Each structure stands twice: as structure tokens, then as C-alpha cells.
Structure 1
Amino acid sequence: MKKGSIAASLFWLSAGWLVVALVATGFLLTELYSRALDTSLTETLEFHVESLTGSLLETGDPRAASITLNDPRFDRPRSGWYWAIRGGNGELYNLSTSLVGIDLPILQGDAGQSGVRTQVLNDVFGTQIRLVERTVTVGDNSYEIVVSGSLTEILQLVGDFRGQAFIVLGAVGAMLAIMSAIVARFALRPVGRLRAAIESVREGDSESVDGTYPTEIAPLADEVNELLRSNAQIIERARNQVGNLAHGLKTPIAVLRNEASNDKAGLAEIVLSESDKMSNMVATYLERARLAARTSIVGKKSDATMIMLRLTRVMRKIHPDCTIAFQRPDASLPWFRGDEADLEEMAGNLLENACKWSKGQVGVRLLSERGDNGALLLLRIDDNGPGLSEADAQKVLRRGVRLDEKTPGSGLGLDIVKELVDVYGGSLELKRSALGGLLVELRLPTARLGGMTKGSGIDSI
């Protein structure tokens, strides 16, 4: 999962909550288990107190050897399991084997209605014990029956339980985290399908976002389709309005030119000059509107290899004295993301200039290059002509600039190329060629692979 993605956010959010919930569950279960063991220990000790009380009442003699408990833990020294029968003055009458040489503390506080007191203490060996004490009256004498059990054993059991609980809960948490990741991926699959559908529209494989989507995403798909439809309508209206404006201006300008051409006065010359400027401006902005409208429509892609093969064949007929070497790319070359006519116009103008200025040798290559925003289509055209200096290379890209008026042309070829390159977000560079002339590098956006021409090598045309 990528950083910053919805799936990653859902996974880490659910994983963090699982960690907190499972840790809290582990401590809660441990606490409940500890309380259950402590309650069980208290009930066991109270049962032993009742057994000793019954034996004392039966014999009437606190020193009788028949007063005993059958639990072997009371026979093991330092076990924490002790019992004793004491007089009201603290005199010791009877005790368990495990208590030999040890004094049990006298509990403080009121016994309450049940007549039983309980307290947690440490014996002389550091063992944590729970004591339960009850006062019993036999005849005229009162006796205190004290029984203790080891809390240290319970704490060890609780520790073992805690470790096992966290191991089990950790395994459960890992399984839940995996399930959370799978659920996130599965739940976001419609988003991936929507992205693929939009990409299909952008690449020209579809005219609209198709498919069935969940209730949460379906409105987004509908809005994208509506945006595409609205964009097409806006472009069409803008193109029509510009065309109407241009056609509306053409007639008045033509009238002004006709009237001015019949008069040789100074004002007529000014009107004729300004009319020419207006005609050029109308033609220029009509061309810009045409280019903008055509390239703003998404969903077009072109096979650059086939276009360059077609152009090189045409240029051989136009310039029979020029040898054009086209090094064909392999089938992995991406397509141009745009209109086929636009690529023909850009490549054709550049190739025409190379043939016009070369001394009979022109090289053409199509490559794929990695840019900041993905793959780029790189067209390299070089020749063995006179070339350009760095200053002239920058100057020649300006609108209408020509460095040699003797060569036929309007100087607008590179202007059209630059205009189209800007619309598509590409780049155009003029450098020194290894052949001695000019090297032109045209970089354009690419579409997904598909329908590539196969083959490689050199086509000398």
C-alpha cells in the first residue's frame, strides 16, 4: 500500500485501534482472572476455617491431635499455607507443621457481623499471604482460628496467564490486521475501477466513464461524465464563436482593402497596411482557436512510428536529393497522447526544415524518455546543414522570424510547432547536431502502449 493512500490510512487506523483494544483486553482479562483466583483462595481459606472450627467444637480441646487439615500444603515449610489456634491472650495452642518456628501476626480491626477478618501480609520469608481469622467460643473460653494461603502462587499464575493471553491476543490482532487490510483493499476496489475508467477516457479507449459503482462512488462517476460532456460543449461553442467572429470580420476587412487599393492617397496606404495586419491577426487567432479546441479534447492517441514512416516517405518525394535515415524504435515505444494531425503538423514542419537546410543528409529517431511527470516521447531530427548558433536558435523560435529571407517560406512553420508544443505541455529545443548541422529535440506526452509497429533497424529513404 502506498503512503498517504486511503487503504493505508484505514489499515493504520484500524491497526492502532486494535493494538489499544487488545492491550486493554489483555489487562482486563488478567485483572478478572486475578480477582477470580483471589476470591477462590478466600473461599478455600474460609472453608478450612470452618473445618478447624468444627473439629475444635467436636473435641472441645484446642490441643487435640485430631484437629488437623488434610491439605499437604500445610505440611510443607515456607509454603505460605499455615493454620493456628490461639487463645484470646495470644497463647498458641495448636498449629500446622508448616508454621513451626514462625509467628503469625495478630490481625487488627473489627471482624464484622460474620465474625471473620481477612488481610494480606508477608511472612518472614517474603511470601505474600492472605490470612483469614475467626473467633470461636467453646464453653467459657474464646479461641482465634487463623488460616493463611499463598498469594505469591496466585501472582505467578496471573503472570503466566498474562503472558499466554498477550500471545493469543497478539495472534488474534495479527489476523484481524490482515483481515483489515484485505477488507480495505476489497472495499476500495470500486475506486480502482473508477480510476481505470477515467484513465481509459484520458487515453482514448473510451468516451465516458462506464461501469456500475457503489452508492458512495456512483455520483462521482456521473459528475465526471457530466464534466466531460460540459467540456466538449464549451469547446464547441468557443470554436463556433471564434469562427463566427472571424467570418464577421473578414467581409469588412475585405471591403476596406478593396476601397483602399483603388486609391493611392496616403490614408489609403495606411488603411491597406492596417487591413493586412488585421487579416493576419484574424488568421492567426483562428488557427490558435483551432489548435486549442482540437487538443483540449481528451481521449486521443497516435502511433508516432507509423506517422514518422509516412512523413519520411512523403519528404523523399518532395526532396529527392536528401537521404533521410529513420531509425525505427522497437514495439515498446509509447504512443503520442494527442491528435494524429497535430503530430503530423509538428513533425512535418521540423522534418521539412531539416530537409530544406541540410546538405543531403537527415537523421530521424523516436525514443522514450523519463520525465518528471512520467514517460515522454522524444523525437530527434538532425541534419548536416549549416546549423544555428545558440543566439540564433533562441531567435528563430519567435513568431515570424526568419534568418534567411532567400529561402521560400513564411517563417510560421516553427511558430505553429511551438504553439502546438505549448498546448500539449511539451518542449522544443534546438542544439548542435553531431552531423554538423541542427539538432531538433521535440518532447511530447505519451499514452499507454497499444498497436505498436514491429521491427527495428535503419530505413534509408
Structure 2
Amino acid sequence: MRKGSIAASLFWLTAGFLVLAMMTTGYLLSDLYSRALDTSLSETLDFHVESLAGALLDTRDPQDPGIALADPRFERPRSGWYWIIRDDAGRLVNLSTSVVGIDLQGVSASADALGRSTEVVDDPFGTRLRVVERSVTLESGRYAITVAGNLTEILELVEDFRGQAFIVLGAVGVMLTIMSAIVARIAMRPISRLSTAIEQVREGDAAEVSGTYPTEIAPLAEEVNELLRSNAQIIERARNQVGNLAHGLKTPIAVLRNEAVAQKDGLADVVTSETEKMSSLVSTYLERARLAARTSVVGKKADASMILQRLTRVMGKIYPGIDIAFDTPDATLPWFRGDEADLEEVAGNLLDNACKWSRGAVEVRLGSERGAKGTQLVLAIEDNGPGLSEEDATKVLRRGVRLDEKTPGTGLGLDIVKELVDVYGGSLELKRSALGGLLVEVRLPTAPGRAGAASPGLTHFRRNTSQEASDR
């Protein structure tokens, strides 16, 4: 359970509550056990007092040797169990054998409704005693019967019980904590399944969130599906609006341009210039809207290897004099996370430019690498043409810029590529090729392909040009 997760929060909350509950339970049980033992001791002492009082009333002689208790602890010195009988003057008239050598004082506390007094004292040996005292009146006078019991034994039993109770409760707490961790993990499984289902939609493996979920999170799955449907509808409406806007603007602009061309004056030149700017701006922003709408669709992915194989075959037929070499990637290569048409447009424009400017050789490589943005698809296309300087490499990415007006084209290819790459959050780099011409490297987001996860580093390739050669 990772820090910050719901399962971890439930686990630590349950563990903290269990620790508090077990400690409180341990002290409460110890206190109840102590009270029970103390009550039992008091009842035992009351019984002994009543026994001595009965014997005294029966014999009528407080010094009679027959006055005794059957409990052998009263016969053992320093046992903590004592009894004595005093007269009104406080003189000792009878005692148990255990009292020998001990000056056991009477109880100073006041008597209760039954005529008994009780208090806790210490004997000379450090033993804590609970003392109970009662008065008995005979013809010869009034006598005080005092019985003491060992309270230290009770306290020791309570301490032993407390230690054992905490051990048992601790073991129970550990078992309950483990059980709470298991319960939390089991309870969070539907959320993990929902997360996996949403990830499958994002990676393009599913069109919507599927599966059966508990009542608490089933509405979330339904809302995600509804959001996906709503997003698709919004994008479709946006596409329609973009098409309508294109048709609505291009025709008036074309009319204005044609009318201005027919006129040969200063105003016509101004109108021609401005309509060209308007047409360029309309094309630019309509293209951006079109790209944004296409790449906003969740759940699409494409096999980049198959697309590159198809494009290299097509370009081989269009440029039969160019040797196009494509390194077939390993089967574990991840797919492109996006629309197949977008990847075809990116790779097609770059491959077409490479063939136009090359002097007979073009190399295409496809791989993956792990970086700060995760695993990315890497497309590298290089040629042995004249290449570009750093200044020209920066300039050529501007919309409509062409360094050589003699070569057929509109100058929008690289700009469209850059727009698409930016929309997908990728990168486009122009470098000097080892072949002597231009090296174009494109990095795009990935999605798992048929073989599973992406390779950890740059994919290694095997050379395969026989298919392209046979196609040409």
C-alpha cells in the first residue's frame, strides 16, 4: 500500500484505533480484576471477623485458647494474615500465631452502619494489609476484633494479569491489523479494476469503461463513459463547424482575390495582398482546429511499424531512383498513442521531403526510448542530400517558408508536422545526418502494442530492405 492511497489511510486509521482500543481494554480489564480481588478479600475478612465474633460470643471468654480460625495462613508468621482481640483499654487479650513479634494497631477509621471499620496499612515487613475491625460486647466488657489480610498478594496478581492481558490483546491487535490490511486491499480492488479499465480506454484498447462495479463506484464508471460520449459528440460537432467555416470563408476570399486580380490599380494590389494573408490565416487556424479535434479523441492507437512499412513501399514507387532503407523494429515496439492518420501525415511529409532532397539514399528507423516524459516512440529519417544549417533548420519550420522555390510544394509540410507533434506533446529535431544530409528525429507518445509493454531502452533493429527493393 503506497503512501497517500485510500487503502493505506484505512490501514493506519484502523491500526491507530486498534492500539488505542486495546490499551484502554487492557487497563479496564486490569481495573475490573483488581476490584474483584479486593472485594473478594474484603468479603473473606468480613467472614473471618464474623467467625471470631461468633466464637467469642459462644465462649464468653476472650482469652479462651479455643478461639481460632481454620485458615492456616493465620498460623504462619509474616504471612500478612493476622487477627487480634483487644479490650476497652486497648490491651491485647488474644491473637493469632502469625502476630508474634508484630504490633498490629487497631483501625482508626469510623465504623459503618454494620459496626465495621476498614482501612489499608503496612506491617513492619512492608506488606500492605487490608484491615477490618468489629466490636463485640460481653458481660465482662467491650472487645475489638481486628482481622488483617494480605493486600500485596492482590496487587501482585493484578500486575501479573495486566502483563498477560496486554500480551494477549497485543496478539489480537496484530491479527486484527493484518485482517484490516487484507480487508482494505480487497475493498480497493474494484477501484484498481476501474483504474485499469480507464487506462485501457486511454491506451486505445477499449472504447469505454466496461465491467461490473460496487454500488459506491458504479456511478463513477457511468460518468466516465458519459464524459467519453460527450467528448466524442463535441469533437464531431467541432469538426462539422470547422468544415462549415472553411467553406464559408474560402469562397468569399477567392471571389475577392479573383476580382482584385482582374483590376489593375493600387486598391486591387492591396486587396490581393490582404486576401492572401486572410487565406493564409484561415488555413493556419482551420488546420490547427482540425488537428486539435483529431488528437482530442481518447482511446486511439496505431501500429507505427506497419504504417512505416506501408509508407516506405509507397515512397519507393513514387521515387524509384531513391534507395529507401527501413530497419524493421522488434515485436515489442510500443504503438503510437493517437490517430493513425496523424502518424501517416507526420511520417509521410518527412519521408517525402527526405526523398525530394536526397541524392539517392534515405534511411528510416523506428524505436523507443525512456525519458522524462516516460516511454516515447522515436522516428528517425535521414538522407544524403545537402542538409540544412542551424539557421535554415529554424527558418524552415515556419509556416509556408521554402528555402528553394524551384522544388514543387507549398512549404506547409514541415509546419503541419510540427503542429501535429506539438499537439501530441512530442518533439521535433532537425540535425546533421551521418549520411551528410538532414536527420529528422520525432518523439511521440506510446501505447502498449500486441506484444505488451515497451522495451526499456532504444529498440534495436535488423536491416530489411529486400521488400522495398522488390516493390520498386
Normalising by structure 1, we get a TM-score of 0.92
Counterparts of residues 42-441 of structure 1 (less than 5 Å) = 42-441=42-441
Counterpart amino acid of residue 459 in structure 1: N
Q: d(CA) in 2 for partners of 1:403 and 1:449? A: 39
User: Structure 2 vs 1, CA of residues 121 and 354 (structure 1 numbering), >3 Å: closer, same or farther?
Assistant: farther
User: Structure 2 vs 1, CA of residues 167 and 368 (structure 1 numbering), >3 Å: closer, same or farther?
Assistant: farther
Q: What SS class does the counterpart of residue 336 from structure 2 fall into?
A: coil
Q: d(CA) in 2 for partners of 1:352 and 1:48? A: 114
Deviation at 1:71, TM superposition (A): 2.0
User: Structure 2 vs 1, CA of residues 99 and 196 (structure 1 numbering), >3 Å: closer, same or farther?
Assistant: same
Q: d(CA) in 1 for partners of 2:379 and 2:115? A: 102
Aligned 8 A contact 2:367 2:379 in 1: yes
Counterpart amino acid of residue 259 in structure 2: E
Aligned 8 A contact 1:400 1:412 in 2: yes
Q: What SS class does the counterpart of residue 180 from structure 2 fall into?
A: helix
Q: d(CA) in 1 for partners of 2:99 and 2:233? A: 100
Return 108-117 or 444-453, whichever deviates more: 444-453
Aligned 8 A contact 1:84 1:92 in 2: yes
Return 318-327 or 372-381, whichever deviates more: 318-327
User: Structure 2 vs 1, CA of residues 312 and 52 (structure 1 numbering), >3 Å: closer, same or farther?
Assistant: same
Q: What SS class does the counterpart of residue 419 from structure 2 fall into?
A: helix
Partner of 1:457: 462
Q: d(CA) in 2 for partners of 1:348 and 1:17? A: 63
Structure 2: where are the runs of 5+ without partners? none
Counterpart amino acid of residue 298 in structure 2: V
Q: What are the superposed Cα offsets for residues 381-429 of structure 1, whole Å, 9 maximum, x if unpaired?
A: 3444444444443333222233444444332211111111111111222
Return 315-324 or 130-139, whichever deviates more: 315-324
Q: What SS class does the counterpart of residue 246 from structure 2 fall into?
A: helix
Counterpart amino acid of residue 143 in structure 2: Y
User: Structure 2 vs 1, CA of residues 359 and 112 (structure 1 numbering), >3 Å: closer, same or farther?
Assistant: same
User: Structure 2 vs 1, CA of residues 114 and 458 (structure 1 numbering), >3 Å: closer, same or farther?
Assistant: same
Q: d(CA) in 2 for partners of 1:391 and 1:59? A: 129
User: Structure 2 vs 1, CA of residues 273 and 129 (structure 1 numbering), >3 Å: closer, same or farther?
Assistant: same
Counterpart amino acid of residue 144 in structure 1: A
Q: d(CA) in 2 for partners of 1:340 and 1:415? A: 19
User: Structure 2 vs 1, CA of residues 81 and 459 (structure 1 numbering), >3 Å: closer, same or farther?
Assistant: same
Q: d(CA) in 2 for partners of 1:144 and 1:221? A: 84
Q: d(CA) in 1 for partners of 2:77 and 2:351? A: 106
Q: What are the superposed Cα offsets for residues 272-295 of structure 1, whole Å, 9 maximum, x if unpaired?
A: 232233233333333222212211
Aligned 8 A contact 2:109 2:118 in 1: no
Return 434-443 or 335-344, whichever deviates more: 434-443
Counterpart amino acid of residue 121 in structure 1: V
Q: d(CA) in 2 for partners of 1:10 and 1:387? A: 61
Q: What SS class does the counterpart of residue 446 from structure 1 fall into?
A: strand
Return 106-115 or 269-278, whichever deviates more: 269-278
User: Structure 2 vs 1, CA of residues 347 and 261 (structure 1 numbering), >3 Å: closer, same or farther?
Assistant: same
Structure 1: where are the runs of 5+ without partners? none
Q: CA RMSD in A?
A: 2.4
Q: d(CA) in 2 for partners of 1:234 and 1:136? A: 103
Counterpart amino acid of residue 316 in structure 1: G
Q: d(CA) in 1 for partners of 2:363 and 2:251? A: 46
Counterpart amino acid of residue 161 in structure 1: F
Counterpart amino acid of residue 349 in structure 2: N
Counterpart amino acid of residue 463 in structure 2: I
Deviation at 1:447, TM superposition (A): 1.4
Q: d(CA) in 2 for partners of 1:317 and 1:52? A: 125
Return 434-443 or 282-291, whichever deviates more: 434-443
Identity %: 72
Partner of 1:32: 32
Q: d(CA) in 2 for partners of 1:426 and 1:269? A: 41
Aligned 8 A contact 1:133 1:147 in 2: yes
Q: d(CA) in 2 for partners of 1:129 and 1:391? A: 102
Deviation at 1:361, TM superposition (A): 4.0
Counterpart amino acid of residue 458 in structure 1: R
Q: What SS class does the counterpart of residue 107 from structure 1 fall into?
A: coil
Normalising by structure 2, we get a TM-score of 0.90
Counterparts of residues 18-29 of structure 1 (less than 5 Å) = 18-29=18-29
User: Structure 2 vs 1, CA of residues 82 and 207 (structure 1 numbering), >3 Å: closer, same or farther?
Assistant: same
